[in-house]
Chains A and B, each alone.
Chain A
């Protein structure tokens, strides 16, 4: 197992750019972007208007927005990671080095799949937490400018912080597990065609949908299209978020998690994982036979 962990660590060392330096830069800009205007006295909080009852709610909304934003950032960068990492060894003749090591092609591809679902999301999650903490600082700044709004109570804020942190973990985990087959699909294609995996990952299903609609008379748009649309619909996630998170009261973790879990179609979830496994195994068999 320490061999597998070492391979995951290798992924971190090789591809941490977008997942470590990227967030650091963004956070740096965020901090600078709020601190500097504040120091100069131009911090503008008045556009929040009277929709916010107090700085605590401001704090929560800011944190939730950050979570949403970072999630989008994570998913986009993960697509690039999978499209890149699975063919990284084709460059600089690295393939022959890895083939001289006592690690199978399947193990190497599995380590890449795993790194994308664990290490890199963890880094972005850390950025989310920092954003949450910074939101508290920003709430203090709002109070400083608008003393009418009560300063956020530290204990209440801390309470919100860890609740929302947990929300982020659960939300993120389920979203990643739901899109895992798509990521595996991109990775497997990358093993064969390199960075062209990104466009091809969309092109191949599009062609299949087209063919189906031309040759078969199925439901509106065809079976494939409707299934893909179903997978792309995060209703189960967004509903839970809307009902449980964006409310006036404090966040109830238990109800949120229950809401999420009850709306996940577990059969489809597991079917997706099976697809991911098949596609990665096929890719490893391809990689076993090629030297570049």
Chain B
């Protein structure tokens, strides 16, 4: 039993977790993110994999490396990340969800009116 799903490369899943941290403002812009070693030890994954995850965030301008200090959330990262994730949701996930709602013959207005999802979901 492991914590990773088998369909996505691990580094992408790690990147997702870091993105979630930033979106939820657990780490704010300009603040330091956990080190490669720290994440590697916490999650029992190879440091190279963590480095790869961070590298892809550096490439998209979310995270920056400060020499000798570590990985930091860039200024303006949150709005950027929000935009990226929205884009991904709208192009990849939303169409799928919409189709599923239609297939199950649910009413989307009624769904939105419900306060919280019932217990037992996800």
- A and B in direct contact, judged by CB atoms within 8 A: no
